[in-house]
Chain A
Amino acid sequence: MDDMDPAWIVGEAREYTLRLFDGSCRRVYVTDSETAYPHGKLIVSRTDTEGVITLGNQSFVDMSGYQESELVGQPHSILRHPEMPAAAFRDLWETISTGRQWHGYVKNLRKDGGFYWVYATVVPNIRQGQVVGYTSVRREPSRQKVAAAEALYRSMLES
């Protein structure tokens, strides 16, 4: 996956190098600009079994800041924010690869360097007994739960 382009970033940004699940690295830029979750909506996306995006609904596209064509075919980690601990995603993959659902609070990275919080549930798409992909459904989280997750993730990153 390509590094983020500094030209995309809106506002003052910090630079990080993410080490992704597959061992690759990605340079990202993050700002403190939060995009509010749109009330009443669900963000839905699907991936293949390798985590490559195959489709997303309009809320998924809108909240990411990318065009749909920039998302489809990319790893879902294009939304990975450096303030999310790797252990959370390791737990996600370990859970869904055994056919179970995973859920948790996630801080996602936008194309413009900003972020948005979601409560995410990832479900394996099981057809004729085989996992053929994954669907991620995100909904608006409570701010109290986000604050607790933020504190937990910060302590995980510091330890």
Chain B
Amino acid sequence: MSINFTVSPSFPAERISDWYIFNTWLQRALSIPIHLELYSGFSAQRQAIADGLVDMIYANPFDASLLVRERNFIAIAGPAGGDEMVIFTAADKPFQTITDLQTGLRLSCTDDPSVNTVGRILLEPADLDASDVVTLPTETYIQVARAVLRDQADVGFMPVDAFSALSNVIQRDLRVLVTSQLHVIHHSFLIGPALHDRGEDISHLLTSLHENEKGRQLLAGLGSTAWRHIAHEDVELMIDIISTLTQ
């Protein structure tokens, strides 16, 4: 039996090779063939989920909701910290805080549902909702930064990890207006019904990864320091919280 594994496409492109290295390690550790498929966008990945082509996923919080509540996936591990995002502008723009932003705002963002939902919540103090904002979608976070730097957009949305991965030269020309500190919304390692009987094994492998040097290197490549066990109720609570963010 071959297992289909995928990762929500919200990680920096520099980490693609690290996910393949992780996948090689996981195959050996579990002694089962695992096929890693990295989709280019959220819609392609969602189609694969709908087609039953995913058995294991490192899922963003919004896809985790769908998979747990509707597709009988269970969460077995997650990063020690939460998923956080930034709203940024160009350093030469007059905006200093979120409340300086006004109707007609040009927003550059990818199709990451988690980042975009949190970002729109963080625009609310400026009394801006979707109808007040001109959204300029892009494919990648580098393109988001480029759009802001070239004055094609006033602000951009990006995960903290992706923003931190930008070069110092680029970061110097940008100004962060707000960084989320939600702590309660995070990616999760989920397994589908085909792997439920291996759940404890996989959870133990992932949550003990930080205990040796090789494991710490793998985690560092994926932008983490440790993964922790996630109880089913932890994910249920996260899903309840996410449901409030779309209101």
A residues within 8 Å of B by Cβ? Answer: 37-42, 44, 46, 57-58, 101, 103, 119, 121-123, 125, 127, 135, 137, 139-145
Contact = CB atoms under 8 A, between A and B. Distances in A.
Interface string B195-222: 0000000000000000000000000000
B241 interface: yes
B247 interface: yes
Main secondary structure of the interface of B (DSSP, over half): helix
Contacts of A135: 237, 240-241, 244
A156 B80 CA distance: 46
Interface stretch (B17-25, B46-54, B58-66, B176-184): B176-184
A38 B237 CA distance: 22
Contacts of B240: 123, 125, 135
B127 interface: yes
Nearest to B182: A42
B180 A40 contact: yes
Main secondary structure of the interface of A (DSSP, over half): mixed
A141 B125 contact: yes
Interface string B224-247: 000000000000110011011101
A121 B126 CA distance: 19
A41 B180 CA distance: 6
Nearest to B236: A127
Contacts of A37: 125
Nearest to B123: A142
A40 B243 contact: no
Contacts of B91: none
Nearest to B124: A142
7 contacts: A39-B122, A42-B184, A58-B183, A101-B244, A121-B245, A142-B125, A145-B127
